[in-house]
Amino acid sequence: MSIKRVQKKPKLIRLPEGYGPILRPTARETYSLRQQIFELVRATGRIARAKIARTLDISPGSVTALTAELISDGFLREVEETSRETSRGRPPVALELVPDALYVIGVKLSDELHTATLTDFGGNALASASQITTADKKSADELLTETEAIIRKVCKSAKISQKKISAIGVGISGIVNYETGVVAWSPLLEELDTPLGDIFSTYFKTPVCIDNDANVLTLAELWFGAGRALSNFAVITIEHGVGMGFVSDNRLFRGAHSMGLELGHSKVQLDGALCRCGQRGCLEAYLADYALAREASTALITPSSKRQDLNDYLKSLYEMAKLGDQASLKIFKRAGRYLAVALSNIIHLFDPKLIILSGKPMQYEFLYDEEMQIEMRSLALYKSRFDTQIEIQSWGSMVWARGATALALTELTKTIIVEGH
């Protein structure tokens, strides 16, 4: 069996300019022509009217009428065509989104570092900001105060007035109902069932969409990364918890209750290790950073007085493993085996084209090396299931906030492009 090498930088196909999912014809069918045209212009970055008509298989007259409408609404504008497809002798004209038509902010709230990115309508990230925070649980009001501070910071950095922000997307760890904006549970919040979406949108006087952090990470790939051209892929995030986002037919899978997929709390062992959720045998209890540290402190002699914080501790464990310390290496290898089990289950359940692994522990290659991938494939049935590619996300810490801007842009597409007409 041949094993595909893990690539640091996902390079699947050459993507066109622009941003947003590149929809397959079947995924477009339910959209109005206005939305289809808008999304095609967005996904290509710059496209001539004739090519829109050919791509969507509609009459040039419809394209002219609908694009005129989108131009007069201030969402599209005419620009010089740069591709070679234009015919000679005619002024080469293409359409693109008007970048300064609208601005959105994406925020990732965490128990370590809040991050925010301000993006224009053209998908350009104009500014980013971060703010160190404490790990203790907070009230909704305290979280609102911290969110306001980072929003003010990113607006100032982009030199854009907060009044010009049309929508805000927020990613937060925990169980979030995307439709209602209610955070059922989050390690950041004191209370259960907090209507954070309502609280934030009332305060900021703008639409605020809230989603699980693994979902916003998946949206970052779907809108701005390798996932743009993929109709079916999964993103696994391993940090304090283990999360998962799944894209099916160019759309984020949300399930019946609009909540995220809880891969971290799927059981891999009956009566197994204790998880943060209070239950036993969850995948997270074997794979998250705290689980690695816990395993290490049980298996290895670690003087408690020299115990550093979690990240430093794992780093030193990794250095020891690299130097050939078998006990340290075993900790990573064991966690890698649990990851192999989880990935083979995902392959069986969802049959994704690509699985993107993300999170700080991905700097420890022992977790996902060839040995892990051999084990993963040996657990998957049938040859057809061997084609799923595994890649490591190489984005920086702003990827979450970037993904959260996609939440805001999705909301705007719904209100101004679809419902506005």
Residues at the site binding Zn ion, with contacts judged by CB under 5 A: 265, 275, 277, 279, 282
- Closest contact distance (angstroms) between CB of 287 and Zn ion is 11
Q: Which CB, 108 or 265, lies closer to Zn ion?
A: 265
Least distance between Zn ion and beta carbon 214 (Å): 14
The partner residues of 131 in beta bridges, in order of sequence, read 114
Q: Residue 175 CB, nearest distance to Zn ion (Å)?
A: 12
CB nearer to Zn ion: pick between 15 and 277: 277
**Closer of 150 and 282 to Zn ion (Cβ):** 282
CB of residue 286 to Zn ion, shortest distance in Å: 11
φ/ψ (deg, to 5) at 197: -60, -50
Would you say 56 or 277 has its CB closer to Zn ion? 277
Q: Report in angstroms how near the CB of residue 279 gets to Zn ion at its nearest.
A: 5
**Closest CB 212 distance from Zn ion, rounded Å:** 15
Cβ closest to Zn ion, residue 22 vs residue 346:
346
What is the smallest separation between the CB atom of 275 and Zn ion, expressed in angstroms? 3
3-state secondary structure the chain: CCCCCCECCCCCCCCCCCCCCCCCHHHHCCCCHHHHHHHHHHHHCCECHHHHHHHHCCCHHHHHHHHHHHHHCCCEEEEECCCCCCCCCCCCEEEEECHHHCEEEEEEECCCEEEEEEEECCCCEEEEEEEECCCCCECHHHHHHHHHHHHHHHHHHHCCCHHHEEEEEEEECCEEECCCCEEEECCCECCCCECHHHHHHHHHCCCEEEEEHHHHHHHHHHHHCHHHHCCEEEEEEECCCEEEEEEECCEECCCCCCCCECHHHCECCCCCCECCCCCECECHHHHCHHHHHHHHHHHCCCCHHHCCCHHHHHHHHHHHHHCCCHHHHHHHHHHHHHHHHHHHHHHHHHCCCEEEEECHHHHCHHHCCHHHHHHHHHHCCCHHHHHCEEEECCCCCCHHHHHHHHHHHHHHHHHHHHCCC
Give least dist CB 179 to Zn ion, A. 24
Q: Compute the least distance from the CB of residue 406 to Zn ion, in Å.
A: 28
Query: Cβ closer to Zn ion: 282 or 409?
Result: 282
Q: Which residue, 59 or 279, has its beta carbon nearer to Zn ion?
A: 279
Cα pseudo-dihedral 290, 293, 299, 302, rounded to 10: -140
**Which is nearer to Zn ion, 42 or 240 (by Cβ)?**
240
For Zn ion, the closer of residues 128 and 173 by Cβ is 173
